[in-house]
Structure 1
Amino acid sequence: MDKVIRLNQLFIYPVKSLKGIELDESVVTEKGLLHDRHWMIVNPKGMFITQRQFPQMALLSTHINNDYLVIANQQSGQSIEVPLVPTKPLPKCEATVWKNKCQVLQECDDVGRWLTEQLKTPWPVRLVRMAEGFTRQVDQSEKFGVGDHFVETQFADGFPFLIANQASLDELNRHLEMPVPMNRFRPNMVIEGLEPFEEHRIKSLVNESIRFDLRYPCERCIVTTVDQKLGTKHPLQEPLKTLIKLNPMPNNNNAAAFAENATVVIKNNHPLKRGEQFYFT
């Protein structure tokens, strides 16, 4: 009998590198889950910033209601609202995420001032969203090996979905003095039913509604060392150092892999739900 894989947890991260939201269900698009990485914070030159440089970004939570994105500081108790649909035209500008220059809309100055104050950055920051009609295409040809391969996504690092395996986290934690939660790895989907790190050896997760194609292991960075409750980095760079030894990237023993980058083929428009079952190929 084929092994059944269960979707155990489902997350979106409306603002790149801020705290995510756990959901019971979500709308799936080819560019990612609805509202996932729809906004990002940029420096005065328009370059994106993340917890790599500012681990205190982990302290800002996000929430979405019918009308607003709400960003809150769990330490100060302060919050600010950003309309999901702009109430007036937003200024257009350019922002950069990795190698991609994107056409974006800048949220109002009050949001930028609030974020600068909460994050205590050395210069003013701004919150931007992707401009309507602009499509970000990420060149992933090096990972696919043959031909030209471009992936469409919002402000995610390189792929629209990140799928993690609960058994892999359990195995990692068996090698750590202080276990870490899944939020260190910021996945969209957490699955159960596979052996540890078996996600790197399968091609797809499939059911009657949708197919997720697992494209390439996710190379992990220093963000995995950030305590998402405290907004501070581990002094010994754990769990990254242990993960490098336990599960290195293909052809690079000095880098760690955890979870799989994925794309999607949508068979119908049913929402993706926690508890949903898949078979793998």
Structure 2
Amino acid sequence: MALTQLFVHPLKSCRGNALQRAEVTPQGLRDDRVWLASRADGQFISARSHPRLVQVGVTRQDDGQWCFTAPGMPPLLTSPADYRQRVPATVWKSAFSALHGDAAADAWLIHYLGEPLQLLWLGDSSRVQKTTADTLSFADGYPYLLLSEASLLDLNSRLAQPVTMRHFRPNLVVDDTFAFEEDEWRRFRIGAVEFEVVSRCTRCVLTTVDPDSAQPDPQRQPLATLLGYRRLEEGVCFGVNVIARNSGTLQLGDAVEVLDSALAFD
């Protein structure tokens, strides 16, 4: 088995950046979900309610600034150094603090999405996932999401119109497994980094949003098909939530070794 794809999403719900190498931190891959679009009270928004977020591109520049792009919008350059005001923020039921401060970035976001919003920077703050005590970025609940290529292939065999990994927004993609084998993993290693599987990942309407057009699928695919054969005790599941047990660097082609699994391997 090997690591075949690596993704970060610097702004929660934005377009994913495919990487060759990535630094592993307790909060997730470096630069993953370090920006958040929120309402004035700090309540987060995502592509579930604002699908056009999936068309926002976010990249860190060599000088430390960040560049935001979106269809019909001029590029925005913003610097974390301008985010000095600590403000409350909320992702689902988790309340924490983030940094605010660039009025031009707020104006850019407001113009693009057409409603009062603000752009927040994670800074040195982090959230804590209550069941694991591990720190998080602006991710929904866990710092890493892993999927296997075999699981996507199995799903696409049931769809009239195939979907891509980008519909599911993973951080880590591996090959040479059988479909949904990752559901049974408990611990695994990629390169020199050990990970622990915490739970299966329950899926929502965001999977029905086309990552290129930002249009929701009228037939609610692929979620409708997943409902038919991947409804488990936790909900409709596709992929697994994992945490890193040490730091390090990952790169495409790194070997994947299962250290503990509910399955018996010969």
Structure 1 and Structure 2 fold alike (TM over 0.5): yes
Contact 2:83–2:121 under 8 Å retained in 1: no
AA partner of residue 180 (structure 1): V
The answer to whether the aligner puts 1:259 opposite 2:239 as a matched pair is yes
The SS at the match of 1:258 is strand
After superposing the two structures, state which structure 1 stretch, 218-227 or 204-213, moved more.
204-213
Shift of 1:151: 2.8
Is 1:111 matched up with 2:111?
no
Q: What is residue 120 of structure 2 aligned with on the other side?
A: 128
1:259 aligned counterpart, secondary structure: strand
Determine the structure 2 residue equivalent to 1:81.
Answer: 77
Deviations 1:193-249 (A, max 9, x none): 110011001112225611111111000000000001111111121100101212223
What amino acid sits opposite 2:25 in the alignment? T
Unaligned runs of 5+ in 2: 261-266
Match of 1:71 in 2: 68
1:144 aligned partner: none
Moved over 2 A (4+): none
1:277 equivalent to 2:255? Answer yes
Other structure's SS at 1:27 match: strand
State the distance in 2 between where 1:126 and 1:89 align.
12
Counterpart mapping for 1:238-253 below 5 A = 238-249=221-232, 251-252=233-234
Q: Distance in 2 between matches of 1:221 and 1:243?
A: 10
Q: How does 1:129-168 map to 2 (within 5 A)?
A: 129-132=121-124, 134-140=125-131, 149-168=132-151
| Partner residue in 2 for 1:143 | none
Distance in 2, matches of 1:79 and 1:169, equals 34
Structure 1, unaligned stretches of length 5 or more?
A: 141-148
Matches within 5 A, 1:147-226: 149-207=132-190, 209-226=192-209
Deviation at 1:89, TM superposition (A): 5.7
Report the secondary structure of 2:40's partner residue. Answer: coil
- 8 Å CA contact 2:44, 2:89 repeated in 1: yes
Aligned to 1:41: 37
Letter in structure 2 aligned against 1:260: V
Residue matched to 2:264: none
2:20 maps to amino acid = D
